Amino acid sequence: MPVMEWFQPGHVAIVTGGSRGLGKALARELLGKGLTVIVDGRSPDALERARRELSEIGDLIAVHGDVADAAHVHALLKAAEGAGRLDLLVNNASTLGKVPLPAIDELERETFRTLFDVNVFAPIHLMQHALKLMAGSDLSTIVNVTSDAGVEAYPTWGGYGATKAALEHVSRVLAAELEGSSTRVLVFDPGDMNTEMHRDAIPDADPAELRDPADSARALLRAVEAMKDGFERVRASDIEAAA
């Protein structure tokens, strides 16, 4: 398939966490390419604001809920079923657990559990069911959004980082299991972005030194379009350097 033709009008994408940050920027890009985009978020007000704004661009379906809630995951998938197909799943919604981020010896069991529920178990649950819907697509992609904290050992980032490392490994194994199928798996590191999550984690960071989430969203789409293998791990900055 030629580069730049992957995203086609009529294709359907689920992007978790679409009310702000990277998820919203991604939804905007995908709607601009004519896709039907299903997004979610826990705050009804933020999601409604995003829905109103993004609906002006294209076919946006907003489903309010928490990805850690199995019934909500099924509601997302039902929305894709209603749209008739599923070509792209982006597991973008994520939590830091507790802020300020605690060192490992202060990381409470309940926080660790929430981190894994949202950042690992929810994406796995979505992937398991999405695969059935993706069977109807000629070429489909699962994107799991990761972080450099999943590979680097930054003090206090152990809980969040462990979830991203786990998500990355599950992605690799899933891609190996899907070898020869029409579904690929991309692990995407968007870089340090000027978003609420970054402000929560590092409040004194200089916003001027952070990436615009819209740039990371565009890099993610280019990474999907350029995929040659069933599994790739890509950083937004790599895509930009190669352009």
Ligand X SMILES: NC(=O)c1ccc[n+]([C@@H]2O[C@H](COP(=O)([O-])OP(=O)(O)OC[C@H]3O[C@@H](n4cnc5c(N)ncnc54)[C@H](OP(=O)(O)O)[C@@H]3O)[C@@H](O)[C@H]2O)c1
Active site residues: 160
Q: How far is the CB of 180 from ligand X (least distance, A)?
A: 29
**DSSP sequence for 25-82:** HHHHHHHHTT-EEEEEES-HHHHHHHHHHHHTTS-EEEEES-TTSHHHHHHHHHHHHH
Measured distance CA(212)–CA(161) in Å, rounded? 22
- Min dist CB 78 to ligand X, Å, is 16
Among residues 179 and 196, whose Cβ is nearest to ligand X? 196
User: What is the DSSP annotation of 122-177?
Assistant: HHHHHHHHHHHHHTTSSSEEEEEE--GGGTS--TT-HHHHHHHHHHHHHHHHHHHH
Nearer to ligand X, 65 or 230 (CB): 65
* Positions that interact with ligand X (CB under 6 A): 16-23, 40-43, 46, 66-68, 92-95, 118, 145, 147, 190, 192-193, 195-198, 213
Asked if 3 and 33 count as a contact pair (C-beta separation under 8 A), the reply is no
Least CB distance to ligand X at residue 109 (A) = 19
Q: Which is nearer to ligand X, 118 or 120 (CB)?
A: 118
